Structure 1
């Protein structure tokens, strides 16, 4: 199995005591799609990530915004800048901005001025029949004129767009990519197979194929056990196989989504399943998925 260098292009860090991540707080109306959040209500800092990733040859990582309070989006970036970088953790950032608001232009410019910021993330994940699984209230956010206006600013600022979306938003992601053909878009978490019945998985595979038809969309195969409390190595391998069937080995990459993914599986389980799923591929293809593609998309050079 693969034993080369790894870049983890998707993880989070937080200081729980700062109170900047409201979604982690024990409040009514928390997003149930993630499961019980109690194990996440603690600090998760560089030392914690290093402990979890020990033995996996992780040579660099990308920090993805962790829903830090939106009226202080730049605060998370400044906090990250103060953390230890000597062991490769959080060498690049995908930050946050209040897209669709009058403040967005200024925040995007301020984020882009930080050298380690290479992209911004938007969240479109909305479930039409199970509101407890929705991360946003508006099903049509991806078509909002103000939101689209701010997406257009990202390319001008030299940033890419990272998106979290369910299969129900696959058409919107495709349309965004078509509207901004020079903008790199990276879809998170295997494009979120949120409904695990037969119809839901078919909807997810159709969404993968639709998004993959746009050359400016790439896919992160991250948190592969999300939304699947009864996951098995076989079910993880099936998800990886379908992702690679759609996007190939040049527009996909493996990531953990730690510590959120720890709700379903350990760090070692994630990478063991990834390695087993692609053991049949040539070594250069495996290295692309574990390291080279992340290095290219997140501009480690």
Structure 2
């Protein structure tokens, strides 16, 4: 099973990641100019969703269609990975029929087990641990608006969730400093923190964390599956809302990103996405372009090896 997979940012070298992002910018330009480009004609992407999705489904499906291929959407009712059939069996069968598989799931092990038994590339469309596709879009957005992120200071505010974990991997791969401002007990992965070493600091006070920041980002306080904790989280995370006043304390070139969906009035103030320093809409669109670059890279590579 020699296919290349993309389960985390660590599956690519820093050089490959930068070239993926540069390629995404080229693909964006082609689309903006209305150029027909179909490198994945007749290729089929299977998309397995165990969690709901708007941007992930739309971007992968639209991307495959724009590339001249097709995408097949499998809802939780259609698959139930590991419940009706062992994950390994599903991977062996599906990968004989498809050219790539994107999976959005709960347990990260589902991805690693599927990938270990797949003869085609497997892409992490989000797991409870990581969201690497979102980071490609975020890094593309920063590059487009502000240039290279290497050596810059990035601040994550809020829950140390899968997005925060992927920001830690990005700090390692894209060579920036990361400060995580989170309440006690809501830290990101201890393993990733250890791996990142000096690169990542945990600072409890968001006002202290944003001083000199070039990029500030956050996410909803209660992720999918945590709705029962929402009330308790609302109280605990209140001091972590990002508003215009907080951005004013950062570097004057600061860019604000949010992977969406956003809960206005919770992790961000009502007006923040309309602030000129926010690039959340470009960031959402860039999911399409970054993932197209990723699909082209993985699927074309796997067909050269056949």
Per the TM superposition, whether the score is higher than 0.5 is no
Which structure: larger Rg? 2
Q: Give the alignment's TM-score, normalised by structure 2.
A: 0.29
Q: TM-score, structure 1 length as denominator?
A: 0.30
